[in-house]
Amino acid sequence: MAARHISMVFSAPTPGREDDYNRWYDEQHLGDVLKVPGFVAVQRFQVVGDNAMPAPYLAIYEVETEDPEGIRARLEARAGS
């Protein structure tokens, strides 16, 4: 069994395009990421309140792999496809 890792990603939509961004993220991006071998689960959150978070959205990906940098490279290789 591969080791389990967590990847946390903060993100922000283009101003004025939040609805489009959320639709793309929920309906396309999350499914595409979960097709990459090793990505096993994801949770997505909207940050609320006045705090020091770097962006208003947070996705937490669960990954099973012995090579976390390699799986990241495989994900990045699929970007834009």
Which three-class secondary structure string do you get for the chain? CCCEEEEEEEECCCCCCHHHHHHHHHHHHHHHHHCCCCEEEEEEEECCCCCCCCCCEEEEEEEECCCHHHHHHHHHHCCCC
Identify the band that residue 55 occupies on the pLDDT scale cut at 50, 70 and 90.
very high
The answer to whether the beta carbons of residues 7 and 60 sit under 8 Å apart is yes
Q: Tokens standing for 21?
A: 């961004």
pLDDT tens column, 10-53: 999 999 999 999 999 999 999 999 999 999 999 999 988 877 88
- Could you tell me which residue, 45 or 78, shows the higher pLDDT? 45
Give the model's pLDDT for residue 67.
Answer: 87
